[in-house]
Chain A
Amino acid sequence: MKRLTSCLVLLLLFAACFSVGTLLQPQAAAWSQHGQDSVVQVLLGDGRWLLANHFFTKADVYFHSGYYPTIFDRKNPHQESHMAGHTHEAGDHDDELDFMGPPRDWIERFGRHAMITKHTHLENGQEREILPWLKIAADIDPHIVETYTVAAYWLANQLHKVPEAEQFLREGLRANPDSYEILFSLGRLYYENDHDSVRARNVWQLALRRWKDQEAAGRNPEKFGLEEISVNLARLEENERHLAKAIQYFEQAKAVSPAPQNLAQQIEDLKRQLASAPPGTQAP
């Protein structure tokens, strides 16, 4: 083959590659939802949910410093994440996580020396170590709402990184615009960390609307979510001396609370305060 012919064939092949590329590019963009999805999302598809859940669990493993049940252990990993700063009754959590039980034989007894058998939680700023896994989980599957709320909780409350927490929650909100959980966390951030009760009220009221929208759509949102939002709104209104509104929110929370007696007591107190308040002292 002459040199000129080789060059022409090469040119022809290059032109063909270019043409096919221009033909396929728009279709490829459509497959990846107009280029909005990340490479991981395109490659893994729905399988990324499993991976994201694994990374979320990994954060929980880190939180417990490696003391965590495997699939072979008697007890399953706890259903509710303990990373979210939930409090426990004394001893409850220890009992729940005493998953190892006594060793069955000498091999297991000896092997326990190479295992972490002490149940501890990360503390004194070490909680930061769970954050990479939460970030990775959120990147892989942005629809696991808990990753945003848990990460924001630790960022804001233990590591005092409020702007980063807000930014992460806003990322979560963009991916999950209907999430009342993220809105609630955002409101808590404004109220507790920024002391901005106006923004907190607005965000919590939006969270309340989202909860009610979900209920109306038959998506069975968690009642605990409604209680949390309502109680926090009630506290905010109480601090602002909007006692009537506070009572209204407490009533709403009482309707779904598993322990309504405490809330009933608070409602009674507020009613007494409202009755004894001289006219004109009650904020609008």
Chain B
Amino acid sequence: MNTVFALSGVVIKELYRRKDFYVLFVLTALITLMVGSVRFFDDDKIIRIVKEASLLLIWISALVIAVGTAARQIPAERENRTIFPLLAKPVTRAQVLLGKFAGCWFAVGLTLVVFYLFFGVVIGSREHHWPLANYFQVMWLQWSMLGIVTALVLFGSLVFAAPSSNSTICLILVIGILLLGGYLNRVAAQQPGPLGALIYGIYFVIPHLEWYDLRKFVQYDQGLVPWSYCLLATLYAALYAALLLFAAWLVFRRKALNL
């Protein structure tokens, strides 16, 4: 386990050495503050549009950071040939994979904490109340969802040739699931015969990432979702992440490391 944490520490260090996070954070902060500074009909109590813009930017930024960070981990190690000294130590391929996953996931968790702190300060200063439990639920489920995404991208980095193609395909897949995943059963019901069955099959196979999007609850002040739901959704995310990591290990354990 120490080996896994040591490897993950390297990934976290890489996150704060690179500029991706800073650029995305500054962009999110600037746009949020800009939207917040606009006064509509001279009313300074309008806040939901700021919440919506800020949460959307947080989601986009976190997704980009998760995909970008995970996609380059193993290809970069292979390209720089640092994978060989790494594996020459008493480190197994499974530990490398787990370390990379843990590093990416913790790194994304750290960025989420920073983003939501900023969100809480900006919105709290306007609303004068801090629904911390709501913020925690939104952040926790987003982090759980990003666990699945990170595992998916790590798997993709072993299957696809280049990090760019992997990132693009994974982003399209994730955004597609977020937008349409929950409605595939209705689409399937309207399709005849085998096509309907195929779509329905896809509906059951894909990880339902849309379950983790609780932005509306914060945006429209709709209170908390049941904690039992959060627990089950976390379990579901853990299972899917484990499945994808296992698939990644199956590919990685026999993969030639020479480019």
Contacts and interface: CB of A to CB of B under 8 A. Distances in A.
A114 B213 contact: yes
Interface stretch (A44-52, A101-109, A237-245, A250-258): A101-109
B135 to A, nearest CB: 16
Contacts of A86: none
A70 B229 contact: no
A161 B45 CA distance: 13
Interface stretch (B106-114, B163-171, B217-225, B237-245): B217-225
A72 B212 contact: no
B256 to A, nearest CB: 39
Interface residues of B, number: 36
A133 to B, nearest CB: 7
Interface in A87-145: 104-105, 107-108, 110-111, 113-116, 118, 125, 128-129, 131-133, 135
A132 B216 CA distance: 18
A118 to B, nearest CB: 7
- Per DSSP, chain A at the interface is helix
Contacts of B38: 132
Interface in B207-233: 208, 210-214, 216-217, 219-222, 225-226, 229, 232-233
B201 interface: no
A108 B181 CA distance: 10
Nearest to A73: B186
Interface in A125-184: 125, 128-129, 131-133, 135, 151, 155, 159, 161, 164, 168
Contacts of B232: 110
Contact of A135 (B41, B212, B221, B225): B41
Interface stretch (B1-9, B46-54, B60-68): B46-54
Given A111-B208, A114-B210, A129 B185 contact: no
Residue of B38, B40, B203, B226 with highest tally of chain A CB at under 10 A: B40
Given A129-B49, A131-B43, A111 B182 contact: yes
Contacts of A164: 41-42
A65 interface: yes
A72 B222 contact: no
Interface in B167-210: 182-183, 185-187, 189, 203-204, 208, 210
Contact of A133 (B43, B49, B220): B49
Nearest to A105: B185
A111 B182 CA distance: 8
Given A72-B186, A114-B211, A114-B212, A128 B45 contact: yes
Contacts of A70: 183
Interface string B21-54: 0000000000000000010111101111100000
Given A65-B221, A66-B216, A129-B48, 7 more contacts: A104-B186, A105-B185, A107-B204, A108-B182, A125-B45, A129-B47, A159-B41
Interface of A: 62, 65-66, 70, 72, 104-105, 107-108, 110-111, 113-116, 118, 125, 128-129, 131-133, 135, 151, 155, 159, 161, 164, 168
